[in-house]
């Protein structure tokens, strides 16, 4: 090795080492950083309006405050109320409530199931065997959540601060991306535009619609006197976020439970609100806001995103799929460039003259 190459090798090795060190230090904060980026993208339109009137720092601060008040604090309040209802619900399931509920469902469904040839369905016996294990499995995440409240509050502070700096200094990151992404500037702009548009579409079409559905379901349960209605509303939001499953996974069992208890009116109200309002919100608004995507693509992108990136994968999973689609278009445009149609050259029309019509005598 020549002496002149040693500084270059040292520079490359030290640069790679510093990059890996930076990634290792940022890894514990990856989830709040990703959520901060998502919220910053969602607040970009409002931040741009305020940045025209005031300084970038003041606009970013106002946008961060609005996002905190509209998103972070309500989610924290709902999570706290839901957690307060988890413990009594689990205690009731461990006691006689779970056994009595299973017995009522057996008495309501067995006559119907026997007519179709199912004589061995006994939910009460299955609950007696597995009820304790199920409640313990449900109690473990709740206990873990309670123990990690201090860490969650610290991560929330990291999220809010990161969102502020993303909004304030986001423009300075745009040019380096366009310069070093390896794509032409036009395609780099298309990628950034796709990320912004897809983030807004997925938030409105999935998260916001699921929150509306969960709120309607929780209000319906509360008006009918269903215990732990806030907790059921939160569960409804989670179910509505999962494609293909959706709200029927929750309102159909509750309606059948009312029917098993002999409360036909409440059962009809729950099933009618679920089928005619809540499910129709999902069918109409989601397809309008997200677009007519294949359910399998949405299913894989959402669940795959959650499996790889955690909760933020609900949004970044579909965003990643949209970016992959744009990169496919880029590769296709390079491998199969559009054929340029050349304009046909018009030949001038020859107008016959007297010289063409009268032959010239030769000497």
Residues 255-289: tens digit of each pLDDT: 887 887 778 888 889 888 888 888 888 777 666 66
Q: What is the pLDDT of residue 339?
A: 65
How many angstroms separate the CA atoms of 316 and 303, rounded? Answer: 11
How many angstroms separate the CA atoms of 158 and 249, rounded? Answer: 35
Instruction: Find the angle CA(35)-CA(37)-CA(43) to the nearest 5 degrees.
Output: 100
237 shares a domain with 198: yes
SS (H, E, C) 263-314: CHHHHHHHHHHHHHHHHHHHHHHHHHHHCCCCHHHHHHHHHHHHHHHHHHHH
36 shares a domain with 165: yes
Query: How many domains are there within the chain?
Result: 2
**What is the H or E stretch that residue 92 is in?**
helix 73-94
Residues 289 and 273: beta-carbon distance below 8 Å:
no
Q: What is the pLDDT of residue 85?
A: 58
Q: What is the pLDDT of residue 146?
A: 53
222 shares a domain with 118: no
Residues spanned by the domain of 229: 181-335
**What is the H or E stretch that residue 4 is in?**
none
Q: What is the pLDDT of residue 61?
A: 92
* 58 lies in some domain: yes
Q: What is the pLDDT of residue 80?
A: 67
* 22 lies in some domain: no
194 shares a domain with 126: no
**What is the H or E stretch that residue 345 is in?**
none
Q: Which residues of the chain have pLDDT under 50?
A: 93, 96, 354, 356-357, 363
161 shares a domain with 52: yes
How many angstroms separate the CA atoms of 216 and 277, rounded? Answer: 9
H-only helix segments in 224-263: 229-241, 248-260
CA atoms within 13 A on the CB side of 51: 15
Local structure of 191: helix, strand or coil: helix
192 shares a domain with 128: no
For residue range 8-20, what is the model confidence (pLDDT) as tens digits? Answer: 777 788 888 888 8
* 358 lies in some domain: no
């Amino acid at each position: 090795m020549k002496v002149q190459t040693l500084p270059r090798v040292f520079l490359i090795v030290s640069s790679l080492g510093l990059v890996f060190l930076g990634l290792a230090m940022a890894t514990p904060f990856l989830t709040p950083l990703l959520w901060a980026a998502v919220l910053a993208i969602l607040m970009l339109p409002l931040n741009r309006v305020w940045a025209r009137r005031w300084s970038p720092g003041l606009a970013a601060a106002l946008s961060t405050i609005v996002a905190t008040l509209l998103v972070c604090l309500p989610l924290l309040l709902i999570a706290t109320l839901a957690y307060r209802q988890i413990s009594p619900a689990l205690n009731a399931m461990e006691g006689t409530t779970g056994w009595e509920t299973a017995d009522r469902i057996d008495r309501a469904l067995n006559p119907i199931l026997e007519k179709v040839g199912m004589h061995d369905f006994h939910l009460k016996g299955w609950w007696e065997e597995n009820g304790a294990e199920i409640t313990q499995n449900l109690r473990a995440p709740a206990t873990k959540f309670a123990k990690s409240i201090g860490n969650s509050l610290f991560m929330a502070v990291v999220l809010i601060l990161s969102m502020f700096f993303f909004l304030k200094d986001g423009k300075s990151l745009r040019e380096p991306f366009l310069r070093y992404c390896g794509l032409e500037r036009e395609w780099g702009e298309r990628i950034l535009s796709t990320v912004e548009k897809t983030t807004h579409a997925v938030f409105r079409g999935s998260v916001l619609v699921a929150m509306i559905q969960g709120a309607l379901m929780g209000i319906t349960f509360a008006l009918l006197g269903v215990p732990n209605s806030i907790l059921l509303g939160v569960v409804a939001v989670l179910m509505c976020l999962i494609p293909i499953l959706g709200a029927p996974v929750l309102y159909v069992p509750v309606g059948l439970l009312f029917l098993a208890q002999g409360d036909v009116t409440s059962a009809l109200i729950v099933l009618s609100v679920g089928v005619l309002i809540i499910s129709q919100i999902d069918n109409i608004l989601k397809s309008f806001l997200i677009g007519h995507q294949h359910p399998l693509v949405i299913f894989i992108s959402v669940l795959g995103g959650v499996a790889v990136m955690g909760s933020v994968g609900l949004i970044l999973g579909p965003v990643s799929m949209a970016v992959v689609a744009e990169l496919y278009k880029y590769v296709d445009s390079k491998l199969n460039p559009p054929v340029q149609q050349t304009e046909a050259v018009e030949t001038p029309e020859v107008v016959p003259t007297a010289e063409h019509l009268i032959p010239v005598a030769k000497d």
